[in-house]
Homo-oligomer: A and B are copies of this chain.
């Protein structure tokens, strides 16, 4: 694999790994503040980021060794409204800046497995940003998010809050594979 795409995939792996961890921590905080469904959304999205991190790690499977990895990451642990804003900002950075740049390089270099892993991720991040925006509107209105269904596609990281899809709208995986939160 070309060096620039390798570097970008490692950076994306670092960003996804830190997002996974941050959402688990922010989920605990939402639980403590009395927003159990927002907590559930954070934990479901944490697992979606694990799907992305794993896709990137697998695309890099043949390149062994230790590397310095630089990634953007959000920090801070104040309250759930601010944590949701941090999540929206992080997802938006990923789908408007990071992944478009990395995908352009991977396409230019003809790195098909990298393109595939990152195209799954970019589409899922758009959905994550929408769902966190809904969650923030609820929390800023003093309420928990009001949804019953919460389903994760374990192939691409898509999240459904309706369950109305037949197959995954992003990767076409069968709905029977979806994991309920």
User: Which residues on A are within 8 Å of B, measured CB to CB?
Assistant: 10, 13-14, 16-18, 20-22, 24-25, 50, 53-54, 57-58, 60-78, 82, 86, 89-90, 93
Query: Are A17 and B10 within 8 A (Cβ)?
Result: no
Is the CB–CB distance between A21 and B22 below 8 Å? no
Q: Could you list 14 examples of A-B contacts with CB < 8 Å?
A: A13-B18, A13-B21, A14-B71, A20-B20, A21-B54, A25-B54, A25-B57, A57-B75, A63-B75, A63-B76, A64-B82, A66-B89, A68-B73, A69-B72
Given A17-B18, A18-B14, A18-B17 in contact, is the A65-B58 Cβ separation under 8 Å? no
Q: Could you tell me the distance between the alpha carbons of A88 and B167 in the complex, rounded to whole angstroms?
A: 42
The CA-CA distance from A75 to B53 in the complex, in Å, is 12
* Those 6 A-B pairs whose CB atoms lie nearest each other, nearest first: A64-B76, A61-B77, A17-B21, A17-B17, A70-B70, A17-B18
Quote the shortest CB–CB distance from A19 to chain B (angstroms).
9
Bound form: Cα–Cα A68–B25 in Å: 19
Give the CA-CA distance A93 to B65 in the complex, in Å.
Answer: 13
Which of B14, B17, B72 contacts A67 (CB under 8 A)? B72
